C-alpha cells in the first residue's frame, strides 16, 4: 500500500478548500462592502493599521472596541476613520438603510520606535477577546519591509516544499479574483518555521488575506510581525 506524501496531502487540501470556497461564493454571494479588494485604502505616510468592524451600532460597542485596542501597548491610539452602512441591502420599501447596523473603519498609528513590536495576531486576539471580529485589516506607511508569519513546526525539506507549492497554488488561484495585488514575493523558511512575505514597495497590505491563506494551507499563525532593516 502506498501512502500519499505530505506534498500531495497539502495540495489536495488546497484544491478541496478552493472548490468549497468557490461553491460557497456561488451559492451565497457576499455584498461588495465586505472584504472586496476594491475597498483597499490609500497608503499612509506613517505606520498605520486599519480595521473594519461590523455591528458597532452604539457608543458602548465602539467604546468596547477602543478599550480592547488600548490593551495593545505598542499602538498609539484608535480613531474612527469612517462609519459606513453595514453589509445589508437597503430597505426598498422604506427607501432607507437600517441606521442600527453599520460598519466602522478604525485607524491606529504605530510610533516609529514600536515598529519592531507590531504583531497583527495580537491585535486580532485583543479584539476577539472583547467579542469583535474584523472583516478586514490593512497595514501601510512603511515603504520597504517584510512580514514574518510564525507557523507550526515545519519538520523536513518535504514539508517546506509542500508548503511552498500549496502557497503557490493558492496565490495563482487568488490573483485573478483581485486578491494579493500588494504581494511581491514570499518564501518558506524551514529553519525558523515561518512564512516570509515581501509586499510591493509602498503598498497597502491586506493582513486578513495573509492569515486566511495560512489557514487554507493548513497552519495557524501564532504571530505575524513586521521586520524592517535596522529597526530595534
3-state secondary structure 43-100: CCCCCEEEEEEECCCCHHHHHHHHHHHHCCCCCCCEEEEEEEECCCCCECCCCECCCC
pLDDT: is 209 or 26 the higher one?
209
**Model pLDDT, residue 10:** 59
pLDDT of residue 31: 38
- The mean pLDDT value of the chain amounts to 79
Domains in the chain and their CATH numbers?
6-30+144-227 (3.30.70.100), 39-140 (3.30.70.100)
The residue among 158, 134, 154 whose CA lies nearest residue 211 is: 134
Provide the edge-to-edge strand list for the sheet that holds 183-189. 183-189, 194-199, 146-150, 223-227
Q: Average pLDDT for residues 172-201, to the nearest whole number?
A: 93
pLDDT at 115: 93
184 close to 198: Cβ distance less than 8 angstroms = yes
Q: Which of 82-91, 138-147, 157-166, 175-184 shows the lowest mean pLDDT across its residues?
A: 82-91
- Arithmetic mean of pLDDT, 212-224: 94
Cell 497590505, residue located: 205
* DSSP code of residue 175: G
| In the block, residue with C-alpha cell 467604546 | 63
Least confident of 63-72, 75-84, 191-200: 75-84
Residue 7 has pLDDT above 80, yes or no: no
Question: Does residue 153 carry a pLDDT above 80?
Answer: yes
Q: Is the pLDDT of residue 180 over 90?
A: yes
pLDDT for 152: 87
Percent of the chain clearing pLDDT 70 (strictly above): 69
In the predicted structure, residue 201 carries a pLDDT above the cut 70: yes
State yes or no: pLDDT of 33 exceeds 50: no
Residue of higher predicted confidence among 101 and 150: 150
What was the pLDDT predicted at 177? Answer: 86
* Confidence band for 57, pLDDT divided at 50, 70 and 90: low
Closest alpha carbon to 108 in 86, 147, 141: 141
Q: Does 193 have pLDDT greater than 80? A: yes
- 104 burial class (0-12, 13-18, 19+ CB within 10 angstroms)? buried
Rounded mean pLDDT, 118-131: 94
Amino acid at each position: 500500500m502506498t501512502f500519499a506524501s505530505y506534498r500531495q496531502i497539502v495540495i489536495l487540501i488546497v484544491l478541496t478548500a478552493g472548490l468549497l470556497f468557490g461553491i460557497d461564493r456561488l451559492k451565497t454571494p457576499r455584498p461588495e462592502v465586505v472584504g472586496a479588494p476594491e475597498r483597499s485604502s490609500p497608503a499612509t505616510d506613517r505606520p498605520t493599521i486599519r480595521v473594519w468592524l461590523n455591528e458597532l451600532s452604539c457608543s458602548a460597542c465602539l467604546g468596547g472596541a477602543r478599550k480592547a485596542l488600548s490593551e495593545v501597548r505598542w499602538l498609539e491610539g484608535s480613531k474612527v476613520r469612517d462609519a459606513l452602512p453595514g453589509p445589508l441591502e437597503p430597505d426598498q420599501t422604506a427607501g432607507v438603510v437600517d441606521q442600527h447596523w453599520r460598519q466602522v473603519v478604525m485607524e491606529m498609528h504605530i510610533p516609529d520606535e514600536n515598529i519592531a513590536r507590531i504583531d497583527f495576531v495580537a491585535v486580532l486576539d485583543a479584539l476577539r477577546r472583547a467579542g469583535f471580529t474584523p472583516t478586514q485589516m490593512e497595514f501601510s506607511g512603511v515603504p520597504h519591509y517584510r512580514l514574518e508569519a510564525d507557523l507550526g513546526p515545519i519538520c523536513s525539506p518535504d514539508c517546506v516544499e509542500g508548503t511552498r507549492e500549496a502557497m503557490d497554488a493558492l496565490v495563482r488561484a487568488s490573483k485573478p479574483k483581485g486578491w494579493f495585488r500588494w504581494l511581491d514575493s514570499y518564501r518558506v523558511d524551514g529553519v525558523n518555521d515561518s512564512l516570509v512575505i515581501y509586499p510591493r514597495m509602498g503598498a497597502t497590505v491586506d493582513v486578513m488575506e495573509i492569515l486566511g491563506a495560512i489557514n487554507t494551507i493548513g497552519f495557524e499563525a501564532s504571530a505575524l510581525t513586521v521586520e524592517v532593516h535596522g529597526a530595534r
